[in-house]
Amino acid sequence: MQVEREQMTIPAYTPGIKKRELTIARQISMTLSKEYTRQSLAFIGNAHGGRDHATVLNACKIVNNMLDTNDPLITIPYLRVKKNIDTFLELQKDVNNIKSQELTIFNTEK
């Protein structure tokens, strides 16, 4: 599966969002990026605002420790995003199966 990289920036001043909330979101994103892609830690860190591989490892450790203790600050958003990703991947697989079947039908009609 090919994952396209979309560059996103967060303004320095984001009304209503605290620094800790952004940090948690970034840590969850890094962890899920590590789980769902084959990209290097350096690549993942760079895609998350120029962080290095050690920052990615630390983020994964923090998220996994908080998941182990069922900390709702991490567990709830992590599971929601993970479910959305899994649903998307299942739908993508279904679309690919349909396309494959259509190609098979098209090729046998010749």
* Structure-model confidence comparison of residues 33 and 95, the more confident one: 33
- Based on the structure, what is the number of domains in the chain? 1
pLDDT category of residue 15 using cuts at 50, 70 and 90: low
Distance between CA 72 and CA 10 in Å, rounded? 24
pLDDT of residue 82: 97
CATH of the domain at 45: 1.10.1750
Query: Could you report the per-residue pLDDT of 27-78, keeping only the tens digit for each?
Result: 999 999 999 999 999 999 999 999 999 999 999 999 999 999 999 999 999 9
Residue 80 lies in a domain: yes
pLDDT of residue 1: 47
Residue 47 lies in a domain: yes
Residue 5 lies in a domain: no
Residue 57 lies in a domain: yes
Residue 38 lies in a domain: yes
3-state helix, strand, coil in the chain (%, to 5): 70, 0, 30
Residue 13 lies in a domain: no
Give the three-class secondary structure for 11: coil
Residue 4 lies in a domain: no
Residue 8 lies in a domain: no
Domain that holds residue 86: 19-108
* pLDDT(3) > 60: no
Residue with tokens 């909330």: 21
Mean pLDDT, rounded, of the chain: 85
